[in-house]
Amino acid sequence: MKIRSLPLAAAAIALSSIANADDGWTYLFQDTDLNEFYFDFVEETEPEDVFEIKSDGTLSIKGEGKPEGYIQTLDEYENYEIKFEYRWPAKPGKSGIQIHSTSDTAHGVWPESIEIQLEPERSGDFWVLNTTIDVEEEQMPSKSAERNRRIRLTPKPEPRDYGKPKKKLEKEPDQWNAMHIVAEGDTIKVYLNEKLVNVAKNASVSSGFITIQAEESDLDIRNFRIREL
């Protein structure tokens, strides 16, 4: 595996050098391999035992029964947006996208960062790991064990078409859900299946590495792409 090599000033170069840019979008896992990323685990583990980059650019995480860990970009980014689709191929589990990650550890193996949760029924929640953000008062958790969680917003309901089943915010875990993260300045917006589900303001960090968790669950991520704002 590689060590991190490029400073924040080189982020624009990094965005243009990763494979297959499309309308400004750069696909992070196309035409690349695990050697282009940084990894860490709670126990000594070979990255290829947990992560696989398939020929179509899908990132397959084989986390069930494996130590917790993560895959992380070698480069830092700021003022960008991310889009991707994800599904749980075996059963619902836990994972998250950690943006503005630093080289310092916050808890266990996880780096200091702002995490966007992918866990079913909580997808779009923020978790703050030695970072701070401002959200609405009703988004603060009631349980002390979840003090770092910032609960997602509830989108306004659409007019009901009573001839069709009621639409759900999230699709079934084994179906592809779409997430869109916009990180601009000290503000972060999260869209789930094209619905705004969370907004953070006055974030204490506004740049850093991009980290994807392997949290003892199997997860597929496809079309993971990034674009400068």
Convert the pLDDT of each residue in 54-113 to its tens digit.
999 999 999 999 999 999 999 999 999 999 999 999 999 999 999 999 999 998 899 999
The per-residue pLDDT for 167 is 63
Model pLDDT, residue 16: 43
CA distances to 36, 40, 141 from 2, in Å = 6, 12, 38
Q: Which residues of the chain have pLDDT under 50?
A: 1-18
How many C-beta atoms surround the C-beta of residue 188 within 10 A?
A: 21
pLDDT at 107: 87
In contact, 28 and 226? CB cutoff 8 Å: yes
pLDDT for 163 equals 52
pLDDT of residue 156: 62
Regarding pTM above 0.85, the answer is yes
Domain boundaries, the chain: 8-154+169-228
Task: Answer for the pair 75, 226: CB distance below 8 angstroms, yes or no.
Answer: no
CATH architecture group of domain 8-154+169-228:
Sandwich (2.60)
CA distance 188 to 67: 30
Q: Return the amino acid letter for 141.
A: P
Please give the pLDDT value at position 140. Answer: 94
Alpha-carbon distance 66 to 62, whole Å?
A: 8
pLDDT at 154: 80
The counts of H helices and E strands in the chain are 1, 19
Tell which residue, 42, 77, 82, has the closest CA to residue 63. 42
